[in-house]
Structure 1
Amino acid sequence: MTTPSRKATIFDIAKLAEASPSTVSAALSGSWKERRISKTKVDLIRRIAEEQGYSTNMQARGLRQARSGMVGMIIPVHDNRYFSSMSQSFEAFARDRGMVPVIASSMRDPEEERRIVQTLISYAVEYIFVAGATDPAAITELCVAANMRHVFVDLPGPGAPSVISDNYLGARMLTAKLLEDLPRRNDPRRDRLYFIGGVAGDHATSRRIEGFRDVLTEAGLSPLPDQIIACGYPPRRAMQEVAALCDRLGALPAGLFVNSLTAFEGVLGHFVNLPPGSFDATVIGCYDYDPFAAYLQFPVHMVRQDSHRLIEEAYRLIDEPSPGIALREVEPALIPPRTIHAGPFGEHG
């Protein structure tokens, strides 16, 4: 074997040794006997690690010998109803267990995410919850090297248990409802349902797109490429894309599936410039939930992800002696609109 130019990771060692990352960690940390790993396998792993120039973080592992009574959680941002609700549930469960919760946001920056993980490890937290991970593989590498138990929430990660929403099911429910209410105007381009927002390569968005596609295809309405606009999450980008879509069609399409509250914020930024009555022949849905949507001048079907149940399941996985890399999905709920006719985005009666 030749030593690679980049620093070898625990995943590299696992691949070369044909073993799991947790087996590699046990072999390198000395806990392999408790795991009943064969001496032959341990010797192979250690030889490969030496040849690859891999060294474990012994300082971090030493810190793990003490119990701090603290549990850590990383979320992408605080100013998001979904993640703030999740962090509140995390805190409540931690306090019920007599533990001190420590919560930090990564601002969706993978370097900051890794720095937070390293800091939490240095403070010897008992375990780490990671919501909406930007670089889950790097997080697992750090945690495995430090023998730190961790669980991914909202987005799955390698080498550790994960709890996520059933995004495929939620997208199917929302798409089916929008399709059921879709107005028909005998305009081939406008009489379609359009998906907007999210990153196509992300697990959650890709599963939602899959559910969206499948429902339309089953209805004999296979979506065209321009019906899926995965423009990311920034509100400004969503506002630009929905404005461009309206320009192409000459008006709003018959239906819009908006793939997050942040994208929905951008869509609303364009809607405020539209004249009254523009929404009469359009059905709108959002894969996220905010009760303030009830005060809009048009009905919005929403998908509410069960953030409390996600955290509850994550704690259950942490409590299991050997959860492996289990993946659990939590069913979301379709929330019907409560129409309140009012001015565009304010007063209501």
Structure 2
Amino acid sequence: MASNKPGRKSTIYDIAKATGSSTATVSMVLNGTWARYRIKEATADRILESARKLGYNVNMKARGLRLSRSGLAGMVLPHYRNRFFAGLAQTFEDQARSRGLCPIVVGTQRDPAVEVSVTETLLSQRVELLFIAGVRNPAPLNALCAAAGVPSINVDLPGDGAPSVVSDNRGGARAITDVLIDKLIARGESPDELILLGGIAGEYATEMRIAGFRDAFEARRIAPAPDAVESCGYNAASAQRALAARHARLGRLPSGLLMNSITAFEGLVQFTSSLSPEAWKSAVVGCFDWDPFAAHLSFDVTMLRQDVQTIISEAFALADHHDPADRTVVIVPTGFGKMYEEAEQTKEFDR
């Protein structure tokens, strides 16, 4: 151990000798640049502790880095184009700030290469946690976070590399399918004309919504049409093309339409805008997603609302009690949009 006699100031050479580190490493830790040069945090901690014991005047910037408190919270998501992802981002920002964290939200356009690049950048900025929303395969991102010792939580789509928080896609799809079947029956129409349009085959959310759709039929001992499910993607253009093809085959719209997302619903609105009012008002319409603009449409639509407040709250709870081995999947119930709830209350009052 280096001498610490009165009148003699400790030097970086003393610290290097005490910790078995090079003087260059000690210098980078003491001037606060160690993270930039990929020096391990454990090494930095050991050097700073030795400096303290030896009475070395430690750079306060370095001491702050030692605490690993960047004050940053990160979130990646596909885009902001629909209210669900925009709502997740806004709620994440609000809850992060309420915890004294500065939120950073980045859209990745569902590009796996961009997702990895953005995650690496956020980790290099020493985010204290990362929420990974709407990523079909979050495993590579979870692995990057685990290697950096940063808690990651999968949101909306689950993964095997970290805990996840998702909507109750199956239960929600069954509930809204039940509503639409009841509406068709009340109008004297056959439920087997109800179709589910949109989503990506093989993706968790889509598969769960398809299962819930079929559950509703099975519970009534009836079967949907063989072509009732069409996973044509999430974007509006693909939904518009799929509807145009069905309209051409039938000579009209199907009697019942359940759109798998708000973007697929936009495709429906775009397509029906080219039809006469009589043509599209005849359909019973539902959407697994919610947006208040639908209240201003001239046809009836039942919308299912995902609970973004609870989703983000549950994700923060998992981050607060982070366990690297935890693979919990928290399922958050869905609910109907306010328009449907008010309509049902009015019916009850009228009865």
The structure where helix makes up a greater share of residues is 2
Contact 1:183/1:281 (8 A) holds in 2:
no
2:126 equivalent in structure 1? 124
Shift of 1:186: 8.1
Deviation of the 1:197 alpha carbon: 0.3
| Alignment-derived partner of residue 243 in structure 1 | 244
Name the residue aligned to 1:16: none
Please name the residue that 1:175 is paired with: 177
SS at match of 1:274: coil
Correspondence 1:335-346 to 2 at 5 A: 335=337, 337=339
Partner secondary structure for residue 246 of structure 1: helix
Of 261-270 and 65-74, the range deviating more from structure 2: 65-74
CA contact (8 A) 2:192 2:223 kept: no
Which of residues 149, 155, 158 is equivalent to 1:156?
158
Q: Measured at CA, do residues 61 and 172 of structure 1 come closer, stay the same or move farther in structure 2, by a change above 3 Å?
A: farther
Instruction: Using the TM superposition, give the Cα deviation of residue 337 of structure 1 relative to its aligned residue in structure 2, in angstroms.
Output: 4.0
Q: CA deviation at 1:117?
A: 0.6
- The residue aligned with 1:271 is 272
CA contact 1:299–1:337 (8 Å) conserved in 2: no
- RMSD of the TM alignment (CA)? 2.3
Q: Is the 8 A contact 1:61 1:146 kept in 2?
A: no
Tell whether the 8 Å contact from 2:261 to 2:288 is kept in structure 1 after alignment.
Answer: yes
Task: Tell me the SS of whatever aligns to 1:71.
Answer: strand
Q: What is the CA distance between 1:258 and its match in structure 2?
A: 0.3
Percent of aligned pairs with the same amino acid: 41
**How many Å separate the matches in 1 of 2:133 and 2:147?**
20
| Deviation readout 1:40-86 (Å, 9 max, x if unpaired) | xxxxxxxxxxxxxxxxxx93864996321111111110222111111
Larger radius of gyration: 2
Q: Is the 8 A contact 2:138 2:161 kept in 1?
A: no
- Which amino acid in the other structure matches residue 179 of structure 2? K
Q: Which residue of 1 aligns with 2:38?
A: 59
Aligned partners of 1:338 and 1:212: how far apart in 2? 19
Give the AA of the match of 2:138. P
Say if 2:268 is the partner of 1:289: no
Measured in 1, the distance between the counterparts of 2:115 and 2:39 equals: 17
In 2, Cα distance between equivalents of 1:241 and 1:83: 24
Which residue in the other structure is 1:144 paired with? 146
Which residue of the partner structure matches residue 50 of structure 1?
none
Amino acid of the structure 1 residue aligned with 2:160: P
Query: Is it true that 1:222 corresponds to 2:223 in the alignment?
Result: yes
SS in 1 for 2:311: helix
Q: Matched residues in 1 for 2:112 and 2:298: separation?
A: 39
Q: Structure 2: how far apart are the matches of 1:297 and 1:219?
A: 31
1:180 is aligned with what amino acid?
D
The letter for the 2-side match of 1:70 is: L
Match of 2:80 in 1: 78
Supply the distance in 2 between the matched residues of 1:67 and 1:275 (Cα, whole angstroms).
Answer: 60
Q: 1:155-203 CA distances to partner (integer Å, 9 max, x unpaired)?
A: 1011211000000111011000000001588887x95110100012110
Q: Distance in 2 between matches of 1:145 and 1:304?
A: 36
**Which letter does structure 2 place at the counterpart of 1:314?**
A
Q: Please, what TM-score do these two structures have when normalized by structure 2?
A: 0.75
* Equivalent-residue separation in structure 2 for 1:98 and 1:191 (angstroms): 52
What displacement does 1:278 show? 1.6
What residue is the counterpart of 2:108 in the other structure?
106
- Once residues 236 and 139 of structure 1 are traced to their aligned partners in structure 2, the CA distance between those partners, rounded to angstroms, is 30
Aligned twin of 1:42? none
Post-superposition shift, 1:304? 0.5
In structure 2, list runs of 5 or more residues that go unmatched: 1-36, 45-64, 342-351
- AA aligned to 1:152 is N
Match of 1:133 in 2: 135
Is the contact made by 1:183 and 1:191 (CA closer than 8 Å) also made in structure 2?
Answer: no
**What amino acid sits opposite 1:304 in the alignment?**
R
Q: Is the 8 A contact 1:256 1:283 kept in 2?
A: yes
CA shift for structure 1 position 221: 2.2
